[in-house]
Amino acid sequence: MIISLKFTVKEKKMLAFLLNSTQLKQINHTYYLKKLPLERQLLLQSYKFEADYLASLAGDMLLEYGINKLYGITEIPLISLGEHGKPFFENSNIHFNISHSGKYTLCAIGNTPVGIDIQEINFFDEQQIMSIVNHFFSSSEKKLINESNCPVDLFFTLWCLKESYVKYTGTGLTVPLDSFSFSPKKDSPFVEFYSNGQNYSSPYFYTSSIDDNYKLAICSEDKSLSIKKLDIFDIL
């Protein structure tokens, strides 16, 4: 069931939850599906591939789990979409964002705007990577990749950061991806952000690896964010 609530949150907090969506194969989904609106149930049933269905359902489950843990809300409030497709809760200052890739689903929740992205590292050849870099990356980012000893790893880090920013702003690809830049810091999960050549201290950008095959990035106004990796039985 989806409900509409008017509520506000004063305490500043941001949490992200990570789940291996393939673990959903171990449980009966009927209980969770019944709690979703009909249009959401129909959407899930329309997926042709099991992996897409599991990843999407995992996002719903993490969202419900997160708002319950953080705010004591037991049912997902009414969700609407912004002009460029960013989902948000109506009548609330609670923000969330969901991303999935490969076997992982990531959901971030807090009371400041947030954008997240997770990417499974696919080993493109150098020509494919540079084609994307030349079309969507800034000149400073191109230089970083050209000089890197691990260009594939850096490419996915920067791509996640760019995705997290456009999801944070809710503008989608209306903002050219080469109009802003990132510069990862050595020995720090936080990243420097530049737009039109100017360095900005906010929002904050956090990047991390999940084993050797996944990268994630979070864009948030709250630097105190944390990530919790969950087991499916933590949610049940």
How does pLDDT run across 179-198, given as a tens digit for each residue? 999 998 877 888 889 887 77
Comparing CA positions, the residue from 165, 116, 114, 120 lying closest to residue 138 is 165
Same domain, 94 and 130: no
- Is residue 26 assigned to a domain? yes
**Residue 160 sits in which domain range?**
119-219
19 has pLDDT over 90: yes
Q: How far apart are CA 191 and CA 217, in angstroms?
A: 10
64-103 confidence digits (pLDDT tens): 999 999 999 988 888 889 988 899 998 888 999 999 999 9
Residues 211 and 228 in one domain: no
Task: Check which CATH number belongs to the domain holding 87 and give it.
Answer: 3.90.470.20
Q: Is the pLDDT of residue 176 over 50?
A: yes
Evaluate whether residue 153 is within a structural domain: yes
Q: Are 18 and 109 in a shared domain?
A: yes
166, 171, 172, 230 from 175: Cα distances, Å? 8, 7, 7, 34
Q: Is residue 196 part of a domain?
A: yes
pTM beyond 0.75: yes
Give the containing element (helix H, strand E) for 217. strand 214-220
182 and 203 share one domain:
yes
Alpha helix ranges (H) inside 27-49: 30-34, 38-46
Looking at residue 85, what DSSP letter applies? Answer: S
Give the total number of structural domains in the chain: 2
- Mean per-residue pLDDT for 209-218? 93
Find out whether 219 and 114 touch, Cβ atoms under 8 Å: yes
Model confidence at 10, pLDDT cuts 50, 70, 90, reads very low
- Answer yes or no: is pLDDT of 13 > 80: no
Based on the fold, state whether residues 124 and 51 are members of the same structural domain: no
d(CA 164, CA 140): 19
